[in-house]
Amino acid sequence: MIDYGTRIKFLRQQASLTQAEFAKIAKVSPRAQFNYEKGDSSPDLNYLQNLANNGFDIVYILTGEFHQEKMSDLERLLLTEFRNGDNAKKAAIMAVSRSQANDLENITSQSPVSNTETKEPKPAKGLSALLANQIHQFSDSNSRYFWFYKSKDDEKK
């Protein structure tokens, strides 16, 4: 019999998640997660799909061989923070990511600028601009803070 349980447990522990947290990601009960890890039952396709949708390497679960590149500590931290975050935290992480990606794209798409001339980067567009202009989040080890900025329309009122 294939040892899915040991592989599932390994992936969960690598992500620093409890069985209950992992079960929530996989959309199963904590008891089902326990049974998968113990080897009392085998995961179904929905379970594997939910894990794959959340960035877990299901090829490893099925074959014992890693498919994805090894993540850096920073990538793992960001992914763990996103997976464990509430909707507000996930929105903030996405907003910052999209904003940074747009900023990088704007910088790399511009022609070189001489010392005597400056160009303003193109503003972010769509959802990225909306979220980036509305939410600024930073966190430290003790607490989270959200600052909501007024839009230009709010200032006119």
Radius of gyration from C-alpha coordinates of the chain:
21
pLDDT at 126: 46
Could you report the per-residue pLDDT of 6-26, keeping only the tens digit for each?
Answer: 999 999 999 999 999 999 999
pLDDT of 145: 40
Q: CA separation (Å) from 37 to 58, 59, 94, 101, 134?
A: 14, 16, 32, 38, 42
Spatial CB neighbours of 150, under 8 Å, sequence gap ≥ 6: none
CA–CA gap between residue 43 and residue 114 (Å, rounded): 59
> CA 6: distance to chain centroid?
25
The pLDDT value given to residue 81: 84
Stretches where the chain sits below pLDDT 50 are: 114-115, 118, 120-121, 123-155, 157
Distance (Å, whole) CA 146 – CA 136:
6
Extract the tokens encoding 3.
Answer: 């040892």
Sketch out the chain's domains with CATH numbers: 4-63 (1.10.260.40), 85-156 (no CATH)
What pLDDT sits at residue 96?
Answer: 84
